[in-house]
Structure 1
Amino acid sequence: MRKKTAELTLTLPADFNREAFLDFHRRDTEAVAEKVDAGALEKAFIWQQVPTLLTVEFDQPGHARVTLHCDDKPPSASASLDAFAGHLLGLDQPTQAFEAQAGRHSLVGAMVRSQAGLRVPQSASPFEALSWAIIGQQISVVAAVSIRRRFIQRLGRRHSNGLYCYPDASDVASTNVEALKACGFSRSKAECLLTVARRCLDEALLPEIHMAQPDLETLRKSLLAIRGLGPWSVHYALLRGYAWMDGSLHGDVAVRRAIQQLLGNATAPSTSEAERWLAEFRPWRSLMAAHLWKSLSVNA
């Protein structure tokens, strides 16, 4: 069937950091699902149940050209593409309000000012964000990227351009624990991901950002009630999936290391100490975490 295409051009804020956005999608050097080349991103994913290639090009100063190449039906409305693309690029994030507050802080002000305009690149779907959080629990980023790659290659549908689409909830729900273990998941992580995928299909647990804006506090509580999901996984998923700016990532090793560096201490703070430290930056705790990651050049 002939490929269908939807396209739009977005005007970018003056402080938009193109390289920070592209770096997030460079995590897998083998580029099985995402390819970054010459200042442009290609990413394969499932859009409205159709294998789709997203292209984001920065060939015009101050603008991003966003294109969807769908292998079947095109997106139902350009308005949904506009909201999705702006969300993906982080254009709806309150960076200026955060910087106005944190930029005056005696300890983190210089760091925040030096990283002005930092946004949190978003996953293509909330399910992708949560599944990545599950993969990354208590292992290094390098190990997590390797498992993610095998997961995509084993379960992902292939777009006509050759890239693998990141699996959606239906792809995962149709597999089993043993298949996920073959990708590198522990049994507990595999069972957790299967539970999430099935609930996504049965209960619309993780509504797509371009379809509906959920009550994030209710969603947070629902996710925390699932065995295998703790505060770090849930808050990280809500940050990457819904641009929730006030999740507390006090359990994140890199966040704690960055706080240690700022304080000049010999050891990293405990999770409870990091939680208290981050509390000062409400309602933008997760945006502060992103600045802490950036200060260590960590692509979490």
Structure 2
Amino acid sequence: MLSPEVMLDRFLARDHTYDGRFLTAVKTTGIYCLPSCPARSPLPRNVRFFDSEPEARAAGFRACKRCRPDRFYRDEDPEADNVEKVAHAIADAPAAWEGATDIAEAVGVGSTRLTELFRRHYHTTPAAWLQRQRIRQAGHALLFGRGNALDCGLSSGFESASAFHENFRRETGMSPGAYRKLRRATSFSITLPDDFRVDDTLNYLVRDEGGVGETLDGRRFRKAVCLTSGPAILDCVADPAAGSVTCRVVADRTLCANDLAAAHRIVIRLFPIDVDPGPFERRLARTRGMSRLIRGRRGLRIPRTATLYEGIVWTIVGQQVNLAFAHSLRATLIELCGPPAPNGLRAHPRAEDVARLDVADLARRRYSRRKAEYVIDTSRALVEGSLSLVEGTTEPATRLERRLLRVRGIGPWSANYLLMRGFGFDDCVPIGDVALLAALVRFFDRETRPDADETRELMRPFAPWRSLATFHFWKSLGDPA
């Protein structure tokens, strides 16, 4: 239960993360608002708080016409709809947009408000979103288009060869020319940032100690995956001295450009060079008492799951069990129905593989019946199309979270974990995570574990990079999560 002091503080801060948790009513105007309402703040003595709309209405208050709490509680968000519409338009034609000013005009807000909206709904800035879409389109043109490499960049919205090469290499780890060669390649190398923590990343990636789906030998990491045309092995060798990861794609068939593009995407997800922890680290370095969180771990990045489906399965399997047992359950699933790949490894199963199972198949293998139902039902929903998970989606994180919470077996912890480790959103907090709570107790020298509201308060100073802060807290315990 939130105290009046906390509710007033969050209302005055216009904290959108508290939308839906309480309503603020203003006695002098007779209206009730969401905590994030941008209207002028009233005097504290004129404020009342309510848990729900019916309570506010019963007390004689009406919905604010500016923040529209009535629409919010009906799951309508015109502002989010507008931002999503523009974000989708940018993804469709990134070259048509010059920069943040164009985007602000299309959304109908000022530049500051635009940044707030993109941070809230997409966990990024408008400029970064535009850049990402330009690189995505340029990559597609390089693999499947006919123009030269520079034409691919210019037609995607880059203004010069230098801007194209620099930004493309930063996001993909490859020059445009090297990326184009994926059309006929079976191997490729990505360049690592200078601060990339190779050994931390490799040790995090090996969850399968039995060697069913992936293996690690020194700095050689092998993982079985399903590419466009079928199973393959990603045989990756990391070389910190050279600042690179070289990946050989091993399959029992001829690979196509789509296969190599998929392999490259997976390698970037596992070795997330497209994430820059610098702004987060600089913020903490100049914030009193916070720099110790990153001490000895600068350059830390969050490896994403190889695929979104692998992410949602791990999220369900890892709920409310210790990590060792969760890893065992994951290995069991791979062994049971994962497609065989070269060299004796098995790829993580696809949704259609798991959808064919019965609950008894997993219950006989140490899955609880409920966990087995969650995994199988989610897989069937993906196969049938009633649930959709799309990499590189233009769907806002806020809407995606609400949609995930409707899935049986997905709660607030699961949704935020998947948003962070599957989709790569930057500002997530897996509320209720046991390791995070233990780390917060230690870091803030608390006597008791924080509840959900206290966790949000403790994590608030780390916005808009709370995903990375969470990962640092996990690592502070030596717990990979």
Give the alignment's TM-score, normalised by structure 2.
0.58
Q: Which residue of 2 aligns with 1:294?
A: 475
Distance, in Å, in 2 between the alignment partners of 1:172 and 1:101 is: 43
Q: Which residue of 2 aligns with 1:45?
A: 225
1:287 Cα shift? 0.9
Q: In structure 1, give the amino acid aligned to 2:339.
A: R
The answer (yes or no) to whether the contact 1:5–1:67 under 8 Å persists in 2 is no
In 2 relative to 1, CA 226–236 (structure 1 residues): closer, same or farther, beyond 3 Å?
same
> For 1:96-138, what per-residue CA distance to the aligned partner results, in whole angstroms no more than 9, with x for missing partners?
1111222323233122142110011111101111111101111
1:163 Cα shift? 0.7
Q: Which moved more, 1:213-222 or 1:119-128?
A: 213-222
Q: Which residue of 2 aligns with 1:249?
A: 430
1:75 Cα shift? 4.5
The answer (yes or no) to whether the contact 1:5–1:69 under 8 Å persists in 2 is no
Matches within 5 A, 1:220-299: 220-299=401-480
Q: In structure 2, give the amino acid aligned to 1:207.
A: V
1:260 Cα shift? 0.5
In 2 relative to 1, CA 217–68 (structure 1 residues): closer, same or farther, beyond 3 Å?
farther
Q: Which fold has the larger relative contact order, with Cα–Cα distance below 8 Å and residues 6 or more apart in sequence? A: 1
The answer (yes or no) to whether the contact 2:228–2:262 under 8 Å persists in 1 is no
Q: In structure 1, give the amino acid aligned to 2:308.
A: P
In 2 relative to 1, CA 17–228 (structure 1 residues): closer, same or farther, beyond 3 Å?
same
The answer (yes or no) to whether the contact 2:234–2:248 under 8 Å persists in 1 is yes
Structure 1 residue ranges without an equivalent (≥5): none
Q: Which moved more, 1:133-142 or 1:151-160?
A: 151-160
Q: Which residue of 2 aligns with 1:206?
A: 389
Q: Which residue of 1 aligns with 2:243?
A: 62
> SS at 1:287's partner residue?
helix
The answer (yes or no) to whether the contact 1:256–1:268 under 8 Å persists in 2 is yes
The answer (yes or no) to whether the contact 2:272–2:302 under 8 Å persists in 1 is yes
Distance, in Å, in 2 between the alignment partners of 1:25 and 1:118 is: 14
Distance, in Å, in 2 between the alignment partners of 1:236 and 1:16 is: 23
The answer (yes or no) to whether the contact 1:23–1:299 under 8 Å persists in 2 is no
The answer (yes or no) to whether the contact 1:103–1:113 under 8 Å persists in 2 is no
Q: Which residue of 2 aligns with 1:95?
A: 277
Distance, in Å, in 2 between the alignment partners of 1:193 and 1:89 is: 27
1:153 Cα shift? 0.8
Q: In structure 2, give the amino acid aligned to 1:246.
A: D
Q: Which residue of 2 aligns with 1:185?
A: 367
Distance, in Å, in 1 between the alignment partners of 2:215 and 2:194 is: 25
> SS at 1:114's partner residue?
coil
1:244 Cα shift? 1.3
Among 117, 121, 126, the residue aligned to 2:308: 126
Distance, in Å, in 1 between the alignment partners of 2:243 and 2:268 is: 14
> SS at 2:186's partner residue?
strand
Q: In structure 1, give the amino acid aligned to 2:246.
A: R
Q: Which residue of 1 aligns with 2:70?
A: none
The answer (yes or no) to whether the contact 1:50–1:72 under 8 Å persists in 2 is no
1:65 Cα shift? 0.7
Distance, in Å, in 2 between the alignment partners of 1:160 and 1:111 is: 42
> SS at 2:188's partner residue?
strand
Matches within 5 A, 1:77-88: 77=258, 78-88=260-270
Among 337, 340, 349, the residue aligned to 1:167: 349
> SS at 2:447's partner residue?
coil
Q: Which protein shows a greater Rg?
A: 2
The answer (yes or no) to whether the contact 1:93–1:243 under 8 Å persists in 2 is no
> SS at 1:242's partner residue?
coil
Give the alignment's TM-score, normalised by structure 1.
0.91
> For 1:249-290, what per-residue CA distance to the aligned partner results, in whole angstroms no more than 9, with x for missing partners?
231111111111111223222232112211222221111100
The answer (yes or no) to whether the contact 1:256–1:271 under 8 Å persists in 2 is no
> SS at 1:175's partner residue?
coil
Structure 2 residue ranges without an equivalent (≥5): 1-183
1:217 is aligned to 2:217: no
Structure showing the higher helix proportion among its residues? 2
Distance, in Å, in 1 between the alignment partners of 2:200 and 2:460 is: 26
Q: In structure 1, give the amino acid aligned to 2:389.
A: L
> For 1:175-205, what per-residue CA distance to the aligned partner results, in whole angstroms no more than 9, with x for missing partners?
1211122232222222222222122223261
1:153 is aligned to 2:335: yes
Q: In structure 2, give the amino acid aligned to 1:255.
A: L
CA root-mean-square deviation: 2.0
Distance, in Å, in 1 between the alignment partners of 2:418 and 2:476 is: 21
- Identity over the aligned pairs, expressed in percent? 32
